[in-house]
Structure 1
Amino acid sequence: MTDPTDDSRDRTDPAVPFDHETVRYERDEGVAVVTVDRPESRNAIDDRTALGLRDAWRRFDTDDEALLGVLTGAGDDFCAGADLKQMDLEDREEGWLGCSRMRVDKPTVAAVEGHAVAGGLELALWCDLRVAAADATFGCFERRFGVPLVDGGTQRLPRLVGRGRALDMILTGRAVDAAEAHDWGLVDRVVDSGTALDAARELAAGIAAHPQTTVKSDRAALYDGLGESLETGLKVEAWHGTKALATADEGATRFAEGEGRGGESVDR
């Protein structure tokens, strides 16, 4: 299991400009926004864009000033998946689309406008939470062209919506609108068209206001416990929890001194 306090990984220098032609990395205080910038192709992913996504999320994971990450697409769509006109993607360790097999140590939110289909759906599933515009569309559209799901869709989708609904999407390739996706638990928030990124930023900023040691340790415990027995999962939870005891003690002291009484919000 991953130690959320481990700082032994290779680190990038956030002061070095992020230079990718089709992927942008922009940080506003504690929220980093990663944008796929190929609106002319509905943000379909070619090989250079996959490399950009890989590098953007590596940067996010080692950027100490970035607490939350938001993934979105430029223009009217989130992402249409792999660029079938190029067909130049490579099966790298991080995944065909650049990040689908990566695990970052901080929370992520997908901001979905328009289409999140095929590999675009898989990128949205890679994020922890999904905020979708009311007119957003989700679907395994690669079914129509004989392209397999190889960026986590067959594994993450049933974990979110259940086996039956996942098979419905995977086998039929049909379009699922935002309302149905929300009913299924595929989408966490539905907002007005054109406001998904703002809403995702707001959601991310709210999470960023909490003590981050326990945000990260509880998130890690959830992921490390998936698929395990309850007995093993409780041990996983306890292991991660012990890494956050100092933060818990500090929070308990603040509460004892009167902060947060009566259910009022606490910005930390």
Structure 2
Amino acid sequence: MFETKLFCLLFPRITRKMSTSSNNVIIEKIGQITTIGINRPERRNCVDFNTATLIKDAIQGFEEDDTSCAAVLYGTGGNFCSGFDLNELVDLDKNKDLENVFKNGFMGISSKYVKKPMVAAINGYAVAEGLELALMCDLRVMEETAVVGFYGRRFGIPLTDGAAVRLQAMLGLSR
């Protein structure tokens, strides 16, 4: 939890923690900064439907909190987010869940535009839907050894949450 320790050093007197109903997402309030951590290190922080809902709720809570002016999105255990948990697709209810996927994308949250500033603290892997989460943020800060990419395209897995549009808008067509 390097990010949390850094904020605690910067703002030692105004740190208080908040909790979620699941250990998959860690929410902490440090002064006016909200930190949202993806906590599935045993799966390289890949996101399942439940974790995606928790992240969405955390971001919505951050937006509604008038005392919080910015947020940091990070991953625990050495990786930012390795994308969507493909094991979830095995148990997918083809009628109900697939309709939700087509309507909202696999995670639904990375196509959202957040009104307050968000920073992605990228370490380890930020691939596929994980990179889409990072692109949702206003600023991305990366370790030198971080790896980013849309590797699922090699296997025909589509980008579902608008990352192709965001990446092109950020980098331009020539890059």
Q: Do they fold alike, i.e. is TM over 0.5?
A: yes
Q: Partner of 1:43 in structure 2?
A: 45
**Superposed, which structure 2 residues align to 1:54-93 within 5 Å?**
54-87=56-89, 88=92, 90-91=100-101
Give distance in 2, aligned partners of 1:93 and 1:112: 28
For these two proteins, the number of residue pairs brought into alignment is 151
Tell me whether 1:111 sits opposite 2:126 in the alignment: no
Instruction: Give a deviation string over 1:94-116, Cα, whole Å, max 9, x none.
Output: 54214113222210000000111
Of residues 124, 130, 134, the one that matches 2:134 is 124
Q: Is the 8 A contact 1:78 1:114 kept in 2?
A: yes
Q: Is the 8 A contact 2:19 2:26 kept in 1?
A: no
Q: Is the 8 A contact 1:52 1:98 kept in 2?
A: no
Q: Is the 8 A contact 1:37 1:74 kept in 2?
A: yes
Tell me whether 1:142 sits opposite 2:142 in the alignment: no
Q: Which amino acid in the other structure matches residue 109 of structure 2? A: C
Greater helix share, structure number: 1
Give distance in 1, aligned partners of 2:34 and 2:47: 20
Q: Which amino acid in the other structure matches residue 108 of structure 1? A: M
Cα drift, residue 152 of structure 1: 1.7
Give structure 1 stretches of 5+ with no counterpart.
Answer: 1-15, 166-268
**Superposed, which structure 2 residues align to 1:23-34 within 5 Å?**
23-34=25-36
Of residues 75, 92, 101, the one that matches 2:111 is 101
TM-score, L = length of structure 2: 0.79
Identity level (%)? 41
More contact order relative to length (CA 8 Å, sep ≥ 6): 2
Q: CA RMSD in A?
A: 2.0
Equivalent residue of 1:33, what SS? strand
Give structure 2 stretches of 5+ with no counterpart.
Answer: 1-17
Q: Is the 8 A contact 2:104 2:161 kept in 1?
A: no
TM-score, L = length of structure 1: 0.53
Q: Is the 8 A contact 1:93 1:101 kept in 2?
A: no
Cα drift, residue 151 of structure 1: 1.4
Equivalent residue of 1:163, what SS? coil
Q: Partner of 1:20 in structure 2?
A: 22
Give distance in 2, aligned partners of 1:84 and 1:93: 18
Give distance in 1, aligned partners of 2:138 and 2:57: 19
Structure 1 segments of 4+ aligned residues over 6 angstroms from their partners: none
Larger radius of gyration: 1
Cα drift, residue 43 of structure 1: 0.6
Equivalent residue of 2:87, what SS? coil
Greater strand share, structure number: 2
Give distance in 1, aligned partners of 2:154 and 2:85: 14
Instruction: Give a deviation string over 1:223-267, Cα, whole Å, max 9, x none.
Output: xxxxxxxxxxxxxxxxxxxxxxxxxxxxxxxxxxxxxxxxxxxxx
Instruction: Give a deviation string over 1:33-76, Cα, whole Å, max 9, x none.
Output: 11111111111111101101110001000111211011111111
